[in-house]
Amino acid sequence: MNITAAKEILKTHVSKVTTLTEEQFDYIFSHFQYQQYKKGQTIITEGTPVNCEYFVLSGCLKSFFINDELKMFILQFAMPTWWTSDYNALYSRNKATVNVDCITDAEVLCLSNEDREKLCREIHHVEYFFRWRTNKGYVASQKRLLSFMNNNVRYRYEELMALYPELYNIVPKNLIAAYLGVSRETLSRLYTPEK
Amino acid sequence: MNITAAKEILKTHVSKVTTLTEEQFDYIFSHFQYQQYKKGQTIITEGTPVNCEYFVLSGCLKSFFINDELKMFILQFAMPTWWTSDYNALYSRNKATVNVDCITDAEVLCLSNEDREKLCREIHHVEYFFRWRTNKGYVASQKRLLSFMNNNVRYRYEELMALYPELYNIVPKNLIAAYLGVSRETLSRLYTPEK
DNA sequence: TTGCAGATGTGATGTAGATCACGTGATGGC
DNA sequence: GCCATCACGTGATCTACATCACATCTGCAA
């Protein structure tokens, strides 16, 4: 993908939420850095500082946490036009507690914390955009929490597949299980009849 | 509590995040409506439209969901200086799927969706404040989700009590259980030795 | 006073999902 | 083209928590 195509994707995404002049958008875009990653590559590593958030252009990322028993929990998948980072670390300027890596080859646009805050200060519409985006994330997170408390694995699996059918082909089942907070064995048994 | 005291609480809260002139804050405050509620009173009812979000001055609220089997799940407690509403309904202008009511007598400041958006448009620092606040909520929600997947009930109970010890005295155990996503019986048995 | 509703504890039993163990087939690096 | 690794399925067993049932205690309203 060339830079022009990347710019177009971001522009389309942002335009759905707020309006910017050509010059404003050019200025904003100049703060983003285009990056390419290979499948399996790590973008954010637990224990290291976090400087950027990432806008996905192509491919699929995951943000995940590994507990003491080395069990993995997936906080979020990130498909094209999604944003991801370790937001806790990013805003509090702590070291990452979460990892981000690539499920497939991926292209992203990277925006530093300082540049985001600068752009938010300089351009009111950018501040609006990020408020909107964070709000969407918050509502989605609350919904997921509720579904976690309320529904069993099977229901949550079907809910996820209905919402993001593209995950079915791209993401291996053990990662789906780690997102649903269930063992891969249980996920595998969901549709086997009782004996 | 008189209006002056209420105003001071909101002002202190907002000042921790952004700076406003006296006139700006007076203007902002004029959009809030002071309200008093009795213990047990309902503020937001499932199935009805939602127009406002609520800043808690005193007392304790809960936002909760009731599923088909009449089981209650608590999304959030709201103590003084916390904000609460059905944000999904509020932003998407749908009817509420969540209820909010009073665990104790409570005083709140109420801000309508329209007024919040108007203030955000008019005063850049207000937009900044709400972006900050939503971001904090998002990060907290992600943390809770992670704790849900990673930790057992006992750990989550101790985590909650460590974070908000005041809940221990104010909130009955069946509501704590509904927040932790566990039955009240299991919560009650947490510290009984194995027989 | 009486009596009712809410808050809490606790025994007995049921169950969803975890864990451990093992197998097969696919795949990708060298 | 070989071999290690990963993805996925499946049986046996274990366990945390749910559910149902019942008891106690408390505060409060008629």
CATH of the domain at A33: 2.60.120.10
- What single-letter amino acid sits at B98? V
Looking at the domain assignment, is residue B165 inside a domain? no
Contact criterion met (CB below 8 Å) for B61 and B102: yes
CB contact under 8 A, B141 and A142: yes
Model pLDDT, residue A101: 93
Looking at the domain assignment, is residue B192 inside a domain? no
DSSP for residue A59: S
CB contact under 8 A, A124 and B124: yes
Looking at the domain assignment, is residue B71 inside a domain? yes
A83-94 pLDDT per residue, tens = 999 999 999 999
Looking at the domain assignment, is residue A95 inside a domain? yes
Model pLDDT, residue A195: 42
* Band of pLDDT at residue B1, cut at 50, 70 and 90: confident
pTM of the predicted protein model: 0.94
What does the pLDDT average to over A75-83?
96
Share of chain B above pLDDT 70, in %: 98
Looking at the domain assignment, is residue A195 inside a domain? no
A25-57 pLDDT per residue, tens = 999 999 999 999 999 999 999 999 999 999 999
CA of A65 to C1' of C25 (A): 30
Q: What is the mean pLDDT of chain A?
A: 94
Buried b / exposed e over B15-47, threshold 16 CB at 10 Å, is: eeebebeeeebeebbebbeeeebeeeeebbebe
Looking at the domain assignment, is residue A41 inside a domain? yes
Chain B partners within 8 Å of A149 (Cβ): 73, 148, 181
Residue A144 has pLDDT above 80, yes or no: yes
Model pLDDT, residue B191: 84
Tokens of A168: 């079915």
Model pLDDT, residue A1: 85
CA of A162 to C1' of D6 (A): 27
Q: Which nt sits closest to B181, CA to C1'?
A: D17
CB of A143 lies under 7 Å from some atom of strand C: no
CB contact under 8 A, A146 and B91: no
Chain A partners within 8 Å of B146 (Cβ): 65, 73, 75
Considering its fold, how many domains does chain A have in total? Answer: 1
Looking at the domain assignment, is residue B103 inside a domain? yes
Looking at the domain assignment, is residue B74 inside a domain? yes
φ/ψ (deg, to 5) at B76: -160, 140
CA of B53 to C1' of C21 (A): 54
Q: Which nt sits closest to A38, CA to C1'?
A: C28
Tokens of A121: 């200060």
Alpha helices in A20-152 (DSSP H): 22-29, 87-92, 113-122, 124-150
B45-90 pLDDT per residue, tens = 999 999 999 999 999 999 999 998 889 999 999 999 999 999 999 9
Model pLDDT, residue A193: 58
Share of chain A above pLDDT 70, in %: 98
Q: What's the domain range around A177?
A: 3-186
* Own/partner long-range contacts of B10-17 (Cβ < 8 Å, ≥24 apart): B10/B55, B10/B109, B13/B55, B13/B81, B14/B129, B17/B128, B17/B129, B17/B132, B17/B133
Chain B partners within 8 Å of A142 (Cβ): 75, 87-88, 141
Residue with CA nearest C8 C1'?
B188
